[in-house]
Structure 1
Amino acid sequence: MMTKAKNPTVHAALSANAARLYDKSHVNVRPKDAATLIILDRDHGETKILIGRRHMRHRFMPGKFVFPGGRLDLGDRLVPFAGDLHPDILEKLRFEAKNGNSLARIRGMAICAIRETYEEAGLFIGAKEADADQRLKGDDWQAFDERQLLPNLDPIRFIGRAITPPGRTRRFDTRFFAVDANHICDRLPEGTGPSGELEDLEWHSITRAHDLDLPRITKEILHELEIRLAKDPDLTPQTPTPFFYMSGKSMMRAEI
């Protein structure tokens, strides 16, 4: 088990952004676990990613372009799944997990990303259940259960982690996952998810996505993804994963 992040360096641009947005009245807000999923289409020429715009009615980041994702629900820890995360991914996800590092909670982060992808984009990352005892329960998973699907963790890859700096109204400890689009096993006919949280869901090249109105950390994760795909197109689980966090007044980039 790793004991510390490797190769920590100050990230000047993210440090400047953290300082610009710092509000001392929010300094003690505790980060909540969150997860997001980047879906990659690599079967039609240039790699494209699915990204959408948050509705303007949202109080948090209205109008920003983001990947499907959201906060971890307690129920995500209890959801049965098909396949499992690679052991190296499980180990990385457990590294310095601030809110608990049980395997149920760690797997729950990937399940959260899959759930949010259905709710916001209407896409199913799942596999047919083999055991009737593994049926999914609850409104969040009704559409999966109707299709006799379980969320499939096996193809999920871990590509980054970022903890929101202090001084924000909301802080998240976000795990960024990726999966190839050929693991989408079904989709809603509406072309979007039932939550209505994301509009203008479209496939964009990574180059084009950089021109959208992105949160600063999302832009950085995209940059990291582009480098990773060039060097490691299979997104090998053993490849070091970037981790962004605050140390003093500096935003650090390390590897786990």
Structure 2
Amino acid sequence: MQDMQVKSGSGPLPLRPRAAASLILIDREGAEFRVLMGRRHARHVFMPGKFVFPGGRADPDDGSISAAAELLPEDEQKLLAGMGSRGTRRRARALALCAIRETYEEAGLFLGRRTAGGAKPISLHPDWQAFAERNLQPDLSVLRYVARAITPPGNVRRFDTRFFIAFRDAIADQLAEGTGPSGELEELCWLSFADACSLDVPSITLAILKEIGAQLRESPALPSAGFPGRPVVQYTMRYGRYVREII
């Protein structure tokens, strides 16, 4: 479904941001941290040709998908706190599940765990069916909520995006093609943070790259169990520029 503008007597009203999620995958095996990036296809209306993290709009079924493990309480509470009175556990986990689903859809990577008895899909969405076909269930415990950004008014698409981070070793399986079934991201590659920052990236992606890169430089031995005391940063547009806040 495309975003729509609602007209008023004085013209169209700003688009309401759609809930979305993105995943920052980090490879920590080499001499320096590397991050997964891909170029958006030139046919896209929103940010064509830009390098981004895998991600996209939340699907109505995402919140109902069963998981091998749930979000850590700290991450769930931070997500709920940003939702105000509309916050529910289903909405919070839907965002995390969206990040995992979109990473499969755009990069062909499965973040999950094998299930001994087989995983039965409870959604007709082909992405979740692909998990079930491999006896995989998504694993939310490997995700850490690190950032939120809201696309400013005036764009052809607007998203309220939550960014999660996970390590590459959380990948349980991947497609042989080296990309996702949607074909939305091209030139998928693992890059150092310096190289990633030199790409043609949206301004918000650049800000988050610098944010995460700085956190990893300060604490290079971050344990796989979590990022103790890590901040969650929020970027919103005010007076024509992004404003950074800690939430």
TM-score norm. by structure 2 comes to: 0.88
Question: CA separation in 1, counterparts of 2:26 and 2:85?
Answer: 29
CA-based RMSD of the aligned residues comes to: 2.0
The 5 Å alignment of 1:12-161 reads 28-97=14-83, 100-129=86-115, 135-137=120-122, 138=124, 139-161=126-148
Per-residue CA deviation, residues 146-182 of structure 1 (Å, 9 max, x unaligned), is 1111000111111111111222222111111111001
Q: CA deviation at 1:252?
A: 2.2
> Relative to structure 1, is the Cα distance of residues 101 and 46 closer, same or farther in structure 2, using a 3 angstrom cutoff?
same
Q: 2:155 aligns with which of 142, 165, 168?
A: 168
Question: CA separation in 2, counterparts of 1:186 and 1:251?
Answer: 37
Question: CA separation in 2, counterparts of 1:42 and 1:25?
Answer: 50
Question: CA separation in 2, counterparts of 1:183 and 1:99?
Answer: 33
> Relative to structure 1, is the Cα distance of residues 148 and 159 closer, same or farther in structure 2, using a 3 angstrom cutoff?
same
One-letter amino acid of the structure 1 residue matched with residue 173 of structure 2: D
Q: How many pairs does the alignment contain?
A: 232
Query: Which residue matches 1:12?
Result: none
Assess if the C-alpha contact under 8 Å between 1:37 and 1:69 holds in 2. yes
- 2:86 is paired with a residue of what secondary structure? coil
Question: CA separation in 1, counterparts of 2:147 and 2:232?
Answer: 6
Assess if the C-alpha contact under 8 Å between 2:22 and 2:56 holds in 1. yes
One-letter amino acid of the structure 2 residue matched with residue 145 of structure 1: A
The answer to whether structure 1 residue 189 and structure 2 residue 176 are counterparts is yes
Query: Which residue matches 1:238?
Result: 229
Per-residue CA deviation, residues 63-105 of structure 1 (Å, 9 max, x unaligned), is 0101110001111011111111111111111123279311011
Per-residue CA deviation, residues 31-64 of structure 1 (Å, 9 max, x unaligned), is 1111000111110211111111011111111101
Q: 1:207 aligns with which of 183, 188, 194?
A: 194
The answer to whether structure 1 residue 251 and structure 2 residue 242 are counterparts is yes
One-letter amino acid of the structure 1 residue matched with residue 245 of structure 2: A
Question: CA separation in 1, counterparts of 2:175 and 2:241?
Answer: 43
Q: CA deviation at 1:245?
A: 1.8
One-letter amino acid of the structure 1 residue matched with residue 45 of structure 2: R
Question: CA separation in 1, counterparts of 2:58 and 2:155?
Answer: 19
What percent of counterpart residues are identical?
48
Q: CA deviation at 1:231?
A: 2.5
Structure 2, unaligned runs of 5 or more: 1-9
Runs of 4+ in 1 over 3 A off after TM superposition: 24-27, 246-251
